[in-house]
Structures are given as C-alpha cells and as structure tokens.
Amino acid sequence: MTRVRVCRDCCCGTTGKHPGVDHDGLLDRLVATAGAGARVEVSTCLLACEKSNVVVVQPGAEGRLAGGRAVWLRAVLDTDAVDAIAGWVRDGGPGLADVPPGRAPLVTTPGVLGEAVL
C-alpha cells in the first residue's frame, strides 16, 4: 500500500505561514481522492519547514520492488497539486508511475534528518 504522509505541525498546514489556504480542505480532498490503495497519514514536523506544505509519497511493496523510493513534494498549497498527487498515487506512485507532468518542480530533497523522520 502506498503511504502518503502529510506534514501538519509547526509550519505546514498553518494559516500563519500560508494565510488564505484551506489546509483542512486540501487534506480532506487528498484523503478522499487518493484511492483505496493508499493510506494518507498526518505527520508531525518532517523538518522541512522552509518547503511547506510538505507531502511525502512512499511506495508500496510493488513500487519498492520496482525501484521506487520515497518522493518528497514541496509547496503543496492548492487543489491542482493535491489532485495531481492523488492521481499519481492511484496510478501506483513511486516505482510504478512517473511524477505527474508539471509536478516535477515540486519534487524536493528530504528535510534535515532525511528519511529518518519517516
């Protein structure tokens, strides 16, 4: 099962850093549209605050066998980004499907502790 971790802590998901963004609505939309093959989880700080809002898509077993690794996405701040992520996850996610067209600029490096925070 593909795992989608949505950072919601000190910076990500806050109106203090991103006023005017419907953070709860975006999270609800991701949960509703990611599909049955995904588990969407809210995470504490992933230590990538300068890249907020951060979402990490981790491949399921089949994706890992195909060489997929966790993909960190930054600036997930609108429905277009959420819909692209959800569609990618429904298509199989890392290892099984390419990052959606136009979303490659959102791919980023892990936070300061890297994969250790996952």
pLDDT tens digits along 34-64: 999 999 999 999 999 999 999 999 999 999 9
Kindly state the tokens that stand for 83. 């819909």
Residue 113 binned pLDDT confidence (cut-offs 50, 70, 90): low
Whole-number Å distance between alpha carbons of 68 and 51: 22
Q: Contact 54/33 with Cβ under 8 angstroms?
A: no
Residue of 64, 54, 52, 46 whose CA lies nearest to 2: 64
By mean pLDDT, which of 40-44, 54-58, 103-107, 109-113 is the weakest?
Answer: 109-113
Long-range contact list for 60-64, CB < 8 A, 24+ apart?
60/1, 60/2, 60/3, 60/93, 61/1, 62/92, 62/95, 62/96, 63/2, 63/92, 63/93, 63/94, 63/95, 63/96, 64/95
Residue-range domains of the chain with CATH: 2-117 (3.40.30)
Q: What is the pLDDT of residue 87?
A: 97
